[in-house]
Amino acid sequence: MAGYCGKLLRVNLSTGEITKEELDIALAKKFVGGRGLGSYFLAEEVDPAVDALSAENKLIFATGPLTGSQAPASGRYMVVTKSPLSGTIACSNSGGFWGAELKRAGYDMIIVQGRSDKPCYISVNDDAVEIKSAERCWGKLVSETTDLLLEEAGDAKARVLTIGPAGERQLLLACIMNDRYRAAGRSGVGAVMGSKNLKAIVVRGSGKVATAKPEAAKEVLKRVRQMLKENDITGKGLPTYGTSSLVNVINEHGIYPTRNFQRGHFETADKVSGEALAEQYLVKNVACYACPIACGRRVKVGDVQGEGPEYETLWAYSADCGVDDLAAVIRANNWCNEYGLDTISSGTTIACAMELYEKGYIKPDEIDGPALEFGSSEAIVEWTRKMGAGEGFGARLAAGSYRLAESYGAAELSMSVKKLEMPAYDPRGVQGHGLEYATSNRGGCHVRGYMISPEILGIPEKLDRFSVDGKAGWVKRMQDLTAVIDSTGLCLFTSFALGADHYRDMYNAIVGEDWTTEEMLEAGERIWNLERRFNLKAGVGADEDRLPRRLLEEPILAGAKEGQVHRLAEMLPEYYQERGWDAKGVPTEERLAQLGLA
Amino acid sequence: MVVEVRLFATFREGRFKKSEVEVTEGGSVRDLLKHLQIEEKEVGILLVNGRNSSVESQLGADDVVSLFPLIGGG
The residue among A245, A255, A491 with the most chain B CBs within 10 A of its CB, best to mutate, is: A245
For residue range B9-52, list pLDDT tens digits in order. Answer: 999 999 999 999 999 998 999 999 999 999 999 999 999 998 88
Closest CA to A35 of A440, A561, A468: A440
For residue A241, the chain B residues in CB contact (below 8 A) are 9, 71, 73
A427-496+516-594: CATH architecture: Orthogonal Bundle (1.10)
Chain A and chain B share a number of CB contacts under 8 A equal to 93
3-state secondary structure of A91: strand
Environment class of A418 (CB within 10 Å of its CB; exposed 0-12, middle 13-18, buried 19+) = buried
Whether A450 contacts chain B with CB within 8 A: yes
Are residues B51 and A462, on separate chains, in Cβ contact within 8 Å?
no
Are residues B47 and A252, on separate chains, in Cβ contact within 8 Å?
yes
What is the DSSP pairing of strand A198-204 with strand A282-286? unpaired
Are residues A237 and B9, on separate chains, in Cβ contact within 8 Å?
yes
Stretch (H or E) spanning A537: helix A517-537
What is the DSSP pairing of strand A176-178 with strand A7-12? unpaired
Which B positions 14-73 lie with beta carbon below 8 A of chain A?
Answer: 17, 44-45, 47, 49-52, 66, 68-73
pLDDT of residue B71: 81
For residue A559, the chain B residues in CB contact (below 8 A) are 50
Following CA atoms A144, A145, A147, A149 in sequence, which dihedral angle do they give, to the nearest 10 degrees? 160
Give the number of other CB atoms < 10 A from CB of residue A117. 9
Res. A560: pLDDT tops 70: no
3-state secondary structure of A113: strand
What CA–CA distance (Å, rounded) separates B1 from B60? 8
Number of residues written out for chain A: 598
Domains of chain A: which residue ranges? Answer: 7-204, 244-421, 427-496+516-594
Pick the CATH number of A7-204 from 3.40.50.12280, 3.20.20.140, 2.70.150.10, 3.60.9.10: 3.60.9.10
Res. A298: pLDDT tops 70: yes
Res. A44: pLDDT tops 90: yes
Res. A556: pLDDT tops 90: no
CB-nearest to A232 from B50, B69, B74 is: B69
Res. A562: pLDDT tops 80: no
Report how far apart the first and last C-alpha atoms of chain B are (Å, whole number). Answer: 37
Are residues B72 and A424, on separate chains, in Cβ contact within 8 Å?
no
What is the DSSP pairing of strand B64-69 with strand B2-7? parallel
Res. A233: pLDDT tops 70: yes
What CA–CA distance (Å, rounded) separates A370 from A328? 14
Give the mean pLDDT of A365-370: 98
What CA–CA distance (Å, rounded) separates A384 from A398? 9
The ipTM value here is 0.94
- Domains of chain B in start order, with CATH, are 2-69 (3.10.20.30)
pLDDT of residue A141: 98
For residue range A302-350, list pLDDT tens digits in order. Answer: 989 999 999 999 999 999 999 999 999 999 999 999 999 999 999 999 9
For residue B71, the chain A residues in CB contact (below 8 A) are 232-233, 236-238, 241, 245-246, 249
Cβ A293 vs Cβ A287: under 8 Å: yes
Cβ A172 vs Cβ A420: under 8 Å: no
pLDDT-derived band at B74, boundaries 50, 70, 90: low
Crossing angle (nearest 10°) for helices A471-488 and A34-45: 90
What is the DSSP pairing of strand B51-52 with strand A159-162? unpaired
pTM: 0.97
Cβ neighbours for A412, distance < 8 A, ≥ 6 positions apart = A405, A548, A549, A550
What CA–CA distance (Å, rounded) separates A66 from A68? 6
Which A positions 287-326 lie with beta carbon below 8 A of chain B?
Answer: 295, 310-312
CATH class for the domain made up of A244-421: mainly alpha
